[in-house]
Structure 1
């Protein structure tokens, strides 16, 4: 065989070996490529799963607690619950939101008073008490309130008429809610810079509540490192990426509400009330005025116990004397006749305080008697009012304040040192309607007790620390004379 032929055979053999090696390597290369591609796909999937924002929508049925014509209620951006942790739920009808009465009274405006015996709401203004029945309409034709079983619901626009309140309601869809605000302080706001989803929680995998377009104004509720909790104009509270918001700024809401002016009468400017009580158990006791006031320098008001309730229907005994008042005026004293509910024994105050007509009769009789005897004012001393009659007692005082204001009489009220067990006397509300609130800062003892009444400094401090600064101009503290060094008289003085 020629040398050339042998060389050709050798080259062909080598080529066949190379081709066979390549054929054997190719499957491994394909497998490797597939593995690399699978790894890339898996990595991309894991990246997307972890980092790419989800577009899944939140289940609003789980996010909200109500549906249909029920309305979820927020106050100052907080979901509202009762003292027993039940959800506060409003109603939607006549294209208006109606709020539960108990919620309105406890959180918004406690001057709405339900007169159950007459099935009307009463609201006391400076010069009158307005009565509103269930059939009464607002200017827009909606009802002021409605009753559903034992539950009462007040039209939010009717509440707003008497209350410094703003609100945003979102009631177009299945899940209705209303955002109420009675806090007029500044809050943080911001503008959305880019289209952004608001999510249930802070995280791109949290489901979407709503989407906001650039330029949308939001209220900032909580600022986290990368996420911000906001309240949106379409009625959601959720989280969005902080990078999608412009710079936070202070927003100061402005109120156009004009509060009623409960103008109070008082002594001439610069005069503090220095008041002494005189116990009067019969008409003859009025003759003791000169003797009892012989050593009372500085006193400018005397309060004889002239009116005593004698029945649960509001009848009263009067020891008032125009001659006494004239003599007191000659001495430079004003006369604030005291009305009490205990000198003739225990009464059922519920009969009186819960009846609109009986309250009116008592108020009319007291004011008429005061005017006939030239009395300067009335001093109300109702003791041991039970907690369940607290609202009724305060309403009586509101209505009495209107009658006294219209008649030119000063109205003062005697109250216990405030503690949790007597909070139903509602000193704050009495301070709005009464000209003076007198806190009885002493211990009392039964008639004939060897231990005298004592002034307690701790009680005085308790009373003072519990009141706002503006309250002191029309409040006083009752102290027993015999407990103050240098004062041997058993009479009491207001300072």
Structure 2
């Protein structure tokens, strides 16, 4: 009996012991989960020998150090230091441009070219190693608002924008594990370095009660906020006064340009009309001739003398071959050919005493758009240095790759003096549907969109002086065949008179409209007029949106009343009546 009780007692004690152990384990686990032990695991900050840090992140590729000179991978240079720089494969050069300079840096050469003049550095600016191209910024720091520092003990290279504001802090007395710089905002995260009491750090960000701080040697990590006391803020470097761009041209308002379409011969200047209000003429003289970058020249000293006597500025037009997309690619994708074209245009500008160059590059593949921008970027410093005003023709924004999307409008607006929007071809010559060349609502709607990316005071509104006479003819199969031909303002009026028609104002297009049914031809003729009414409305858009002026295509399509109405409306704002000729 005694043995049975003893066994039961031992069994109870054993059970109590097991329960106690389980309870103790539960308490310990609970304590650990609520108050986990800080990690003492230390990791290497980075495996890279010469890591580049920009905007708080380690760049994927490291720098190269040669003779104590820092060379950045060209990918980093083009992404974060100079996004407008390009590498030209044919000349094996990096091309860098500023508002008034064009640099060419050949690979592995002490020599470089500034505006085609040879100079040299003590070390190569561009080098190639292990199939990688590297760029040193040290000789070029005056071009960039960057500060670059390398810590010799860690190899870390810090790149900062001089306009960045640094928030500095001081390490306060605290327990050792709290001063570890951890990979994540958690005490259980491994650490890479330890702060010292009183050590100064830069606070880069904040997350979950932690600061992300960086030591002077470049190593960074998370530390609890209570460990750091913010002391002061400062710019990375002393801020320079913003320079006024003295190369940009601002002409008196309003600009009123007209293009002189020159296809084979220049006009007889003795027969050119008086054009009140016009202050700039743009003859279409220069065109790309072949894939070598040669430029054909239709310039005329007689025309120059006439324009100067009349008080007109001359902005000669330079165009690509709109039909040959391959040729456009060949000449604009090569630095040497771009430079060749620039040299020729400078020679012609001097020969004809030009005041400006009007760039008319159209019908370009989307992937070639950056080459067009680069040509403009390289050309503008030379043109400005020669005292030339630089304008460029663009289209409205649309989804067409070759007609519209290839234009990098925001960048182009930063480069040239003026952009001229060709605000026509809503319905083009081979359009399958008859319609206005440029209805007023279409123009205004697209203008509003364009002004979101182009400054109003740098934008010139293109105005058509021609109309299209549309013919909708019923074929034998019962289909409608649509054709058109362009008419000048006088030719349009003559056709209206011959057919004894009276224009009616069309509210939808804000233009005067005529229609004529020719039963013999089984055809309907339609025409949306460019006349005093439409021209007055277009000029008023220049006022309404405070544009730089207007440009008309082309002089030969206008009649005398066109110049009068545009000149009158450019001088003041007035309500334009919605009736023919009023």
TM-score (norm 2): 0.65
Residues 1:307 and 2:286 are matched in the alignment? yes
Describe the superposition over 1:3-46 as per-residue Cα deviations: whole angstroms up to 9, x where unpaired.
Answer: xxxxxxxxxxxxxxxxxxxxxxxxxxxxx9xx999999997898
Contact 1:444–1:453, Cα closer than 8 Å, also in 2: yes
Change (3 A) 1:486 1:112: closer
Give the match's secondary structure for 1:215: coil
State which of 420, 443, 462 in structure 2 corresponds to 1:478.
462
Q: Give the structure 2 partner of residue 18 of structure 1.
A: none
The within-5 A match list for 1:27-66 is 51=35, 54=38, 56-60=40-44, 64=46
Question: What is the CA distance between 1:240 and its match in structure 2?
Answer: 0.9
Listed as ranges, the gaps of 5+ residues in structure 2 are 1-15, 112-119, 466-529, 537-551, 556-565, 571-582
Question: How far apart in 2 are the matches of 1:473 and 1:435?
Answer: 10
Contact 2:180–2:192, Cα closer than 8 Å, also in 1: yes
Residues 1:91 and 2:70 are matched in the alignment? no
Question: What is the CA distance between 1:109 and its match in structure 2?
Answer: 0.9
State which of 458, 477, 490 in structure 1 corresponds to 2:445.
458
Question: What is the CA distance between 1:381 and its match in structure 2?
Answer: 0.6
Alignment length, in residue pairs? 447
Question: How far apart in 2 are the matches of 1:371 and 1:217?
Answer: 60
RMSD: 4.2
Contact 2:259–2:283, Cα closer than 8 Å, also in 1: yes
The within-5 A match list for 1:2-81 is 51=35, 54=38, 56-60=40-44, 64=46, 67-69=47-49, 71=51, 73-79=52-58
Describe the superposition over 1:229-253 as per-residue Cα deviations: whole angstroms up to 9, x where unpaired.
Answer: 2233332332111111114654333
Question: How far apart in 1 are the matches of 2:234 and 2:171?
Answer: 15
Residues 1:434 and 2:406 are matched in the alignment? no
Question: What is the CA distance between 1:348 and its match in structure 2?
Answer: 1.1
Question: How far apart in 1 are the matches of 2:298 and 2:436?
Answer: 27
Residues 1:244 and 2:239 are matched in the alignment? no
Change (3 A) 1:394 1:340: same
Give the match's secondary structure for 1:348: helix
Question: How far apart in 1 are the matches of 2:325 and 2:197?
Answer: 69
Q: Give the structure 1 partner of residue 535 of structure 2.
A: 487
The within-5 A match list for 1:56-455 is 56-60=40-44, 64=46, 67-69=47-49, 71=51, 73-79=52-58, 88-94=60-66, 95-136=68-109, 142-148=123-129, 150-158=131-139, 160-170=141-151, 172-173=153-154, 177-182=156-161, 184-186=163-165, 188-194=167-173, 196-224=179-207, 226-247=209-230, 249-255=232-238, 263-266=246-249, 268=251, 270-285=252-267, 287=269, 290-291=272-273, 294=275, 297-342=276-321, 348-417=327-396, 425-443=407-425, 446-447=428-429, 451-454=435-438
| Of 154-163 and 48-57, the range deviating more from structure 2 | 48-57
Change (3 A) 1:484 1:228: farther
Question: How far apart in 2 are the matches of 1:289 and 1:167?
Answer: 64
Question: What is the CA distance between 1:326 and its match in structure 2?
Answer: 2.8
Listed as ranges, the gaps of 5+ residues in structure 1 are 1-31, 81-87
Describe the superposition over 1:289-332 as per-residue Cα deviations: whole angstroms up to 9, x where unpaired.
Answer: 733x54xx433222121112221222233222222233223333
Change (3 A) 1:451 1:150: farther
Describe the superposition over 1:50-103 as per-residue Cα deviations: whole angstroms up to 9, x where unpaired.
Answer: 64763623322xx64xx34463x44322455xxxxxxx3133322444333233
Question: How far apart in 1 are the matches of 2:150 and 2:397?
Answer: 38
| Of 257-266 and 128-137, the range deviating more from structure 2 | 257-266
**Whose Rg is larger?**
1
Change (3 A) 1:355 1:38: closer
Question: How far apart in 2 are the matches of 1:347 and 1:272?
Answer: 38
Contact 1:126–1:260, Cα closer than 8 Å, also in 2: no
Contact 2:258–2:282, Cα closer than 8 Å, also in 1: yes
Question: What is the CA distance between 1:372 and its match in structure 2?
Answer: 1.9
Question: How far apart in 1 are the matches of 2:208 and 2:344?
Answer: 68
Q: Give the structure 2 partner of residue 25 of structure 1.
A: none
Change (3 A) 1:78 1:484: farther
Give the match's secondary structure for 2:135: strand
Question: How far apart in 2 are the matches of 1:286 and 1:104?
Answer: 54
Contact 2:315–2:358, Cα closer than 8 Å, also in 1: yes
Question: How far apart in 1 are the matches of 2:89 and 2:33?
Answer: 61
TM-score (norm 1): 0.75
Question: How far apart in 2 are the matches of 1:225 and 1:89?
Answer: 30
